[in-house]
Amino acid sequence: MALLFAAFAAPLAHTGVATGQMHLGSRIVAPPLADGLPLRIMPLGASITWGQASSDGNGYRGVLRDMLAATGNPVNMVGSQHHGTMVDNDNEGWPGYVIDQVYAKANASVATWKPNVILVNAGTNDCSQDRNVDHAGERMLAMLEQLFVLSPRATVLLSSLIVNKNATTERRVVTVNAQYRTVAEELKARGRRLVYVEMQNEDGPQKGDMSDNTHPNDNGYRKMAILWYNALVGASRAGLLEAPEPVEGLPDDGGGGVQGRHRAPRW
C-alpha cells in the first residue's frame, strides 16, 4: 500500500459532515479516526499556522481541533508557541519565518513532543521575500525527512501554499506548489507516511476569503480546517495513523473533549 494519501478536499458529506453545516461546538456524526487513537498534533509553519488575522487568533486550529474532538478522538495540540483564545492553543507557528527557519524550530520542538500528526504549511514567506524560490522544494524535502527522523511514529500532512492576492507572490506560490507535489511523490516512493493536502483549489481559501494579501479571514481558515480534517480522515482510512510515542509528563487523554487542554511540558 502506498504511504501517501492524496487529499484533494473531498466534500465533508463523504465523512459524515455536511460542509455547509459546520459550526463551532457542533457535534459531528462521524466515527473516531483510527478507532479513537490519541492525536498529538503539531501545527508547524509560520504566521498562517500561528493564526494571524483571524478574529480569535486560533486560525484553522480551533475549528480543526473541535471537529476532531467531536468525533471522539483525544486531541492535544503541541508546540512551543501559544496563540489564540482556544484553551489548547499550543502550536509551532512563527510569523515571518521561511522554510529554513521553520526547520530550525522543528528540530527542537518535534524531538521534544514527539507528535504523531504534524501539519506543515510553510513556504509563503519564501515566496513573498523571493528566497531562492526555485529550490524551495529541496528545502521542504530536507525538513520533512528530518521530521520523520525526529518522530518516527508521525504522519506528516504537507499542505500546498494557499492563494496570495499579490500577483508576483502568487506566481511564486504556483511554482512552489508544483515543487511540493513532486516532493510528495518522492516521499511516497521512499515509503514515508505523508499526506499531501491541496489547498490552492476551489475548496481552499479564495481571494475573497483573505484578510490581506497573505492571511485568510475566519472563513478562509475554516476552509483550511475542513481540508486538514478530510486529509486526516483519508490517512485514517489508509491505515497511516499510529499512536504517539509516550512522553513523560504529557498525557494523551485530550483533557475532556472540545477545547480541552493538557499543556505540553516546558523544558
- Quick: pLDDT tens for 129-147: 999 999 999 999 999 999 9
Q: Residue range 244-260: average pLDDT?
A: 76
What distance separates the 2 farthest-apart alpha carbons in the chain?
48
Report pLDDT for 26: 43
Is the pLDDT assigned to residue 23 strictly greater than 70? no
pLDDT at position 30 is: 81
All domains in the chain, ordered by first residue = 4-8+38-237 (3.40.50.1110)
* Contact present, 231 and 7 (Cβ < 8 Å): yes
pLDDT on residue 264: 42
The percent of residues in the chain predicted with pLDDT above 70, rounded, is: 84
- The mean per-residue pLDDT over the stretch 63-82 comes to 97
Distance of CA 179 to the CA centre of its chain: 18
CA dihedral of 122, 123, 125, 127, whole degrees rounded to 10: -160
How much is the average pLDDT of 227-246? 98
**Residues 188-193, mean pLDDT to the nearest whole number:** 95
Report whether pLDDT(221) > 80.
Answer: yes
User: Cα separation of 42 and 202, whole Å?
Assistant: 26
What's the confidence (pLDDT) of residue 3? 41
Backbone angles phi, psi at 66, to 5 degrees: -65, -40
The reported pTM is 0.88
Element housing 67 (H / E): helix 61-70
Q: How confident is the model at residue 29 (pLDDT cuts 50, 70, 90)?
A: low
